[in-house]
Structure 1
Amino acid sequence: MPRDAAPLDVQNFAAAHLLRRPEPVRVGGFVAGFDPATTSPYVNYATPLPGTTPSEADVAALVAEFRGRGLLPRLEFAPDAAPEVEAALRRAGFSTEAVHEYLVCTPATLTLPAGLPQAEIPASDEEFTEIDAALAEAFAGEFPASAEGAARLRRTQERGGAVRFVRADDGGCAGAASCSAPAEGTAELAGVGTRPAYRGRGVAAAVTSALAGAMFERGAESVWLEYSGDGSRRVYERVGFRPGGTRLYLRLGRPLP
């Protein structure tokens, strides 16, 4: 994927992905995706369509859609693909939650280093539960383990995405990640986590490369992910991910209790 194509592809994917939510809504030049099973702002959020120029009324209608559901108005998007959106949202009072760089892998850049542990495909409810618990530990409880978390991982796999994990010494899960079903030629790889006792053994590289390869086998032209630090970036670059652009997270007000 040429570098200048990445923001548009990622933003097209973001809109298509939110339209898969149980309750998607189009508001002006925005797509909002809602899941009544959770109030999490990381599940319920919106994104602009590429190139949209939102009016004040469009933004107000979007905010009203969230407020009417008792949810925090929140957006995630690649600003280079919708350059008029950020200013319109800030005029309405939205503030920065985070700015993340993302990396992109293509079939031409994917690398499979030697010596990585085997990445497996989960099948049983027990394996999905083990994966959810391992990811909760990997992220220090930021996303607590739950039956819904395990079910969400299973749905990801059943609906055209993929989940991969490396088995721990005790038969459980050492680390894992998931990837959404492809849309608009690309797919998002997320939730790469390794339990502390298994870090430094190539677990993250194994699941990342396995998931990217699985998506390419299904016809995706690229896979992208966001990274959290230089250490994780080096892991992803090792298996073929390259700089793609920036994603902006904006919200209006504080997260709901």
Structure 2
Amino acid sequence: MSRRLQEYMLASAKNGREVVRTGPFTVTITGHDPNVYLNYAVPDPGADPSAADIEALVTAFTTRGRTPRLEYLPKLAPAVEPALLAAGFAVADRLPLMECGPSDATDQPVPPGFELVTPKTDAEIEAMLAAQHEAFGEEPPTPAHVAATRAKAESGQLQLLARELATGETAGGGIAAAVRDGISEVAGIAVRPAYERRGLGAALTLHLTRAAFAAGATLAFLTPAGDAQERVYARVGYRRADAVLFLSHSA
């Protein structure tokens, strides 16, 4: 299952990005956004990189104005972490990977006074992105972000925004990546600070998870950013199954 998940994560990372092969690494670059979460490499299963491989990996990022970074399931390539740490990389994070099957999903009601809708227009897509960027402390979305997000929706990505009924204000948003090999990743679950602690995060997660199952997924997964998020996802029916390692270099 770990190999299947890693293959899915790599296929999703390649979608809409420049893809560069260097040594035992696949580097994915988002041209319109230097955000580290949208630019990273994945090692091959069983990779055992040499010093030259690591130097070429760093160069693939720096020549494109990006921070060298990796996201992967470490147990599939145990030799990568010590080799990269010795070469100046550092562990940026090590997060649990949680899974949910169709029979595991647990009802989470949409809080009173809110609705969950699929963004259809560019204005709605921008509103969803603005809520996500605000929640994650990022700069406001640009037209390039909107265009890229619209293209992903056309390629099967599931998108959802939470909106306050009384004011029409967007309260949050999230996505479920296009289903591949029966798998979908739920990600970008965000609630604007003014609307936190009302159950919107759980409702967004549940509805996106069930939408992924309706689109053909037999397994959904996500990576919580911390204990609080993990508790929310556990209420929806997710359980720990693996771990994701994030390595970065300050070059």
TM-score by length of 1: 0.87
Aligned counterparts of 2:83 and 2:168: Cα–Cα separation in 1: 51
Q: 1:119 to 1:24 in 2, by over 3 A?
A: same
Which AA in structure 2 matches 1:31? T
Aligned counterparts of 1:13 and 1:92: Cα–Cα separation in 2: 28
Instruction: Determine if contact 1:16/1:184 at 8 Å carries over to the other structure.
Output: no
Name the structure 2 match of 1:236.
233
Q: Please report how far the alpha carbon of residue 193 of structure 1 lies from its aligned counterpart in structure 2 after TM superposition.
A: 1.0
Q: 1:92 to 1:26 in 2, by over 3 A?
A: same
How many residues were matched structurally?
248
Name the structure 2 match of 1:253.
250
Name the structure 2 match of 1:31.
26
Aligned counterparts of 1:12 and 1:22: Cα–Cα separation in 2: 16
Name the structure 2 match of 1:54.
49
Asked whether 1:160 is paired with 2:159, we answer no
Instruction: Determine if contact 1:131/1:150 at 8 Å carries over to the other structure.
Output: no
Which AA in structure 1 matches 2:215? R
Q: Please report how far the alpha carbon of residue 47 of structure 1 lies from its aligned counterpart in structure 2 after TM superposition.
A: 0.8
Q: Please report how far the alpha carbon of residue 35 of structure 1 lies from its aligned counterpart in structure 2 after TM superposition.
A: 2.1
Q: Which runs of 5+ in 2 are unaligned?
A: none
Which AA in structure 2 matches 1:155? A
Which AA in structure 1 matches 2:27? A
Which AA in structure 2 matches 1:93? G
Q: 1:137 to 1:34 in 2, by over 3 A?
A: closer
1:191-202 paired onto structure 2 within 5 Å: 191-202=188-199
Instruction: Determine if contact 2:32/2:145 at 8 Å carries over to the other structure.
Output: no
Instruction: Determine if contact 1:15/1:47 at 8 Å carries over to the other structure.
Output: yes
Aligned counterparts of 1:178 and 1:71: Cα–Cα separation in 2: 24
Deviates more, 1:173-182 or 1:61-70: 61-70
User: Counterpart of 1:189 in 2: which secondary structure?
Assistant: strand
Q: Please report how far the alpha carbon of residue 22 of structure 1 lies from its aligned counterpart in structure 2 after TM superposition.
A: 3.0
Q: Please report how far the alpha carbon of residue 250 of structure 1 lies from its aligned counterpart in structure 2 after TM superposition.
A: 0.9
Q: 1:188 to 1:143 in 2, by over 3 A?
A: farther
Name the structure 1 match of 2:121.
124
Name the structure 1 match of 2:70.
75
Q: Please report how far the alpha carbon of residue 100 of structure 1 lies from its aligned counterpart in structure 2 after TM superposition.
A: 1.5
Question: Over aligned residue pairs, what C-alpha RMSD do you find?
Answer: 2.0
| Large movers: runs of 4+ above 6 Å | none
Aligned counterparts of 2:120 and 2:110: Cα–Cα separation in 1: 25
TM-score by length of 2: 0.89
Calculate percent identity across the aligned residue pairs: 37
Instruction: Determine if contact 2:109/2:203 at 8 Å carries over to the other structure.
Output: no
Aligned counterparts of 1:153 and 1:210: Cα–Cα separation in 2: 19
